[in-house]
Structure 1
Amino acid sequence: MATLHLDTATDTPHSPTSHARSSPSDSDNEDNLPYPGELSRNDFLADDFDSQTYLSTLRNRHQTLEDLRSDLRQRSQLLNQELLDLVNNNYEEFLSLGADLKGGEEKVEGVRVGLLGFEREIEGIRKVVAERAEQVGQLLGERKEVRRDIMVGRGLLEVERRLEELEGSLGIKNAAQDAESLASDSDDEEEDAEVEAFPIRKSKAQTEQFVLLNKLVTRLGPEHPFLQAQQSRIEHVHRTLLSSLATLLRQAKAAKDQDATLAVVRLHVLLDAEQDGAKTLQSG
């Protein structure tokens, strides 16, 4: 450490200077000198602290070398005490950390048990969600089936409506009678058809409606119990319609009306009854 040199005179008591300094006025001047402030703690904490540089800045503190040494010694003791307190505090925290870690196994086990319980809760929720999803799927399937049944029901009602219209248009009064009674009455109906002439336009509308009826039955499925029950009615309408067309075809041929003959032949084609039309033309 650099030595701080202060200017101190060593005059003898007999010298004039010594006598002058011992005068009362000089004593008053010494009392009026500025009192040196406390050494700043921040000066010692600087990263670039250098002892020699720091002591060289203390030339104008107006204090004796012994007082400066005393201040530096006191500041050193304070810093040492702060360092000791800091170490003690950190050591106490280290010891408390060790005490906390000593029971860490139990805490880890507690966390593990909590996680297992949470996992079981999640699994339970997952099962509930899966069950609800399955229920929703079943309900959606049932809804789809209900919609399909509704569409089928509407289709069946449409079949019934078209059958009734055709039966009314063709003059079929007893639509519920069985196939044997219908076959026994077919000759009488044909004879009546020869007496009554059906307009071609009306027969065309009846034929187109019957074609649509067959398409509707095919789309719904002919194996449906309701459609199976209506099969005899459908066949009766088909036979009656063919009988009416045969009567028209004979009348057109007898009148030598080629346009009417071609029109009736086309109606036979719509009904896939070309052979029936050809037989009528040959027999007529």
Structure 2
Amino acid sequence: MHLTETCDPQSPNLITHVVTTDASVQDGTMLKAIHTGLAGRGRLPALHLVDAGYIDARNVLAARRELGVELLGPVRPDTNRSAQKFGTDAFTIDWDRQTVRCPDGRTSVVWRNKLHDRHDGHRGRDPVIFVRFAARHCGPCPLRDRCTISQSGRTLMLRPSREEHELLQQARMLNQTEEWRRRYNPRAGIEGTISQGVRAFGLRRCRYRGYSKTSLQHLFTASAMNLTRLDAWIGGVSPAGTRISRFEALRPAA
């Protein structure tokens, strides 16, 4: 169940869109359907806060270009980086000449387009640019211990376009800033919505079998949650705070 809700502090948080999918469907593939549904009802947001499952360079660019929506969410770590490796940001990329220069000043010998298996827990393959450095350069390199253990030379996987690559690099840097955290913080409210749906509205169980009936149940559940929230707002009842266990309450203040 994909939920979209408002997060204006001056009004109750209301669910504005619901999509039901098979559990195996990747979150990011549903983003276009979610935006299309919101646009059809005049509820498309200028800023859409989502979790990491929806964030991909192509999704961010498509939302910005086609709908004027800023997609904001955490970017997955650089898959070219490990505890001791140089990440992609340590390499200089020449997109026009299709070459990459490593921290030791060596130039790549392979640059080609290919399909690469996903590493985010979902099936499928993504288009990438495969880059490899020569073994004769990597073997005697003084930075080898900090770069690669491969006998055939260091490899990199780049996004298929310069625009996508630079967008992700910039997003990873912004994710570390306090300003980004401040803007993204309201997204935590949707976790409370899911918890409320499970605890108070039986969201985890389907009353009937079948996609259509399950989808209808989700719509009724979202409507009931909205009515409950409106009633609480009109009655002046504030949302409950985050629950803290007795053990966690013993932790000294920072």
Q: Which has the higher strand share?
A: 2
Decide which structure has greater helix share. Answer: 1
Q: TM-score range by the shorter chain?
A: under 0.3
TM, length-normalised to structure 2: 0.18
Q: Higher RCO, 1 or 2 (CA under 8 Å, sep at least 6)?
A: 2
